[in-house]
Amino acid sequence: MKNFILDHVHIYTEDVEGTIQFYKQVFKAKELRKIQLEDLQLVHLKVGENRLVVSNSSEKNPVGLGHFAFAVDNLEEVMTYLSEKNNIKITQRGQAGEYTNVFIKDPNGVVIEILSPSTR
């Protein structure tokens, strides 16, 4: 199985533009792209060699750190691997264009997205 590669960290906020400006001013973030999906605005920023996704909060996604994501080459292979781990439950599976993703939680309740292909 291929390695898990950190793809991005996702933050939810009530003030998308203010948050973007904060990361641009303080951390010299560069805006990569903006995506509008119904009521959800997603802004991808590059901070150094890493990516940060900022989007508006909602009842489902409250303000704060939403999740971090690992990219993998073969999501089906990873899902088989995860199913062999007794205490890991896939909480959600989705498809957005060419990207397929699943969400799991670590023992502390931290949400982890696993996606393929990478959104880089």
Higher pLDDT, 56 or 88: 56
- Is the predicted pLDDT of residue 89 greater than 90, yes or no? no
28: left (phi over 0), alpha (psi -120 to 50) or beta: left
What is the amino acid identity at position 71? A
The CATH number linked to 87 is: 3.10.180.10
pLDDT at residue 19, rounded to an integer: 95
Question: Would you place residue 13 in the very low, low, confident or very high pLDDT band (cuts 50, 70, 90)?
Answer: very high
Residue 82 contacts by C-beta under 8 Å, 6 or more apart in sequence?
A: 88, 90, 102, 104, 114
pLDDT at 8 over 90: yes
Question: What's the domain range around 19?
Answer: 5-116
Q: How many domains does the chain have?
A: 1
Q: What confidence score (pLDDT) does residue 44 get?
A: 96
Cα 73 from Cα 2, distance rounded (Å):
7
Structure confidence at residue 106 (pLDDT): 85
Collect all residues with Cβ–Cβ distance below 8 Å to 34 and sequence separation of at least 6: 41, 42, 43, 44
